[in-house]
Amino acid sequence: MQLDRPSKTPRHVAIIMDGNGRWAGARGLARTAGHRAGVERVREAVRTAHEANIEYLTLFAFSSENWNRPEEEVSDLMGILKYFIRKDLAELHRENVCVKVIGCRQSLKPDIRGLLDEAEDRTRGNTGVTLVIAFNYGSRNELVRATRLIAEAVQAGQLDPCSINEHSLSAFVDTAGIPDPDLVIRTSGEQRLSNFLLWQAAYSEFVFLPCLWPDFDRQAFLNALDEYSRRDRRFGAIPARAERAVGS
């Protein structure tokens, strides 16, 4: 069942899923238990996005800095990814979800890279929610890769340096063709972007929630959307009511 789409429903929501380890630690469990509990919240977030008529949902699944975590934890995270794709891909496809993966894939092991490619290929034609999975993603690395691609295009005579602007640069980042996020949500109480969508989030609204990711349920998502609906997005302009007040 879909909810009526309010006029201020965000088209694109991005979420930094933070707090799995702390959630597990508070319960005397291994950190990996928190990651596994977080998978169910991923499923619920996709369902809620569909209900709320959100077109794009981007989830920060694994950052380029996460490789610095203990080897056992990284190995378990890779296992969870494999399990999620193998178990949930068919259901996502049935639900008309289109999967897109952003991040650097060159350094990934062939089996992981193959699963990510399969998820994209199988759901490419779907027209429902676009689920963007940020995996082995870091925004600074993304901008470096985009800059290299631009330099190569200029060197090959395919791009005039004088024509480079914000619009053309956006065509070289991982999210090319995807609208910038209207709303960025971060769980766990932390209030920072952590190298996530630095270019794309220039004018995003931010909602920082105290709950840990495994506790981020449907109601928490809807509450964040309600908070967004009360925001006055100006993109650097003066609100019309303020202009009228100045001119009066």
Q: For residue 97, which of 133, 61, 63, 62 has the smallest C-alpha distance?
A: 133
Does 186 appear as a known binding residue? yes
Q: Which of the residues 18, 76, 174, 182 is marked catalytic?
A: 18
Tell me which of 4, 53, 66, 76 is the catalytic residue: 66
166 Cβ contact list (under 8 Å, min separation 6): none
Any binding-site annotation on 117?
no
The answer, yes or no, to whether residue 203 has pLDDT greater than 90, is yes
Please compute the mean of the pLDDT values over residues 93-103 and round it to a whole number. Answer: 97
Q: Half-sphere exposure (CA, 13 Å, Cβ side) for 61?
A: 27
Alpha-carbon distance of 151 to 81, in angstroms, equals 34
- 213 belongs to an annotated ligand binding site: no
- The mean pLDDT of 119-127, rounded to a whole number, is 97
Q: What percent of the chain has pLDDT over 70?
A: 92
Annotated binding residue 31: yes
% the chain with pLDDT above 90: 77
CB 197 within 8 A of CB 183: no
Q: What is the average pLDDT across 92-105?
A: 96
**Interval 89-118 mean pLDDT:** 93
136 marked among binding-site residues: no
Task: Look up tokens 């998978």; give the residue.
Answer: 39
Average pLDDT on 27-51 reads 94
Alpha-carbon distance of 40 to 63, in angstroms, equals: 20
The Cα 171–Cα 177 span in angstroms is 7
Calculate ∠ Cα 21-80-96, nearest 5°: 115
pLDDT at 6 over 70: no
User: Is 215 flagged in the annotation as binding?
Assistant: no
Tell me: the pLDDT tens digits for 213-232? Answer: 999 999 999 999 999 999 98
pLDDT of residue 248: 47
Is-catalytic flag, 165?
Answer: no
pLDDT for 85: 86
Is 18 known to be catalytic?
A: yes
Strand ranges of the sheet holding 183-186, from the earlier edge strand across to the other edge? 98-102, 130-137, 56-63, 12-16, 183-186, 205-208
Compute the average pLDDT of residues 15-38.
94
Residue 229, pLDDT score: 96
- 12-138+180-233 classified as CATH 3.40.1180.10: yes
pLDDT over threshold 50, residue 23:
yes
Which pLDDT score is estimated for 77?
Answer: 84
Give helix then strand counts, H and E, for the chain.
Answer: 8, 6
34 CB burial (10 A radius; 0-12, 13-18, 19+): buried
pLDDT at position 242 is: 53
| pLDDT for 86 | 84
Q: Is 36 annotated as a binding residue?
A: no
Q: Where are the domains of the chain?
A: 12-138+180-233
pLDDT of residue 2: 46
Mean pLDDT of the chain: 91
Tell me the pTM. Answer: 0.90
Rounded Cα–Cα distance for residues 56 and 13 (Å): 6
Q: How far apart are the two ends of the chain, measured CA to CA in Å?
A: 47
Find residue 151's DSSP bridge partners. Answer: none
How would residue 151 be classed by pLDDT, with cut points 50, 70 and 90? very high
- pLDDT-derived band at 5 (thresholds 50, 70, 90) equals very low
- 244, pLDDT greater than 60: no
Question: For residue 211, how many C-alpha atoms fall within 13 Å in the half-sphere facing its CB?
Answer: 16
Rg (CA), the chain: 19
Q: Does residue 125 have a known ligand-binding role?
A: no
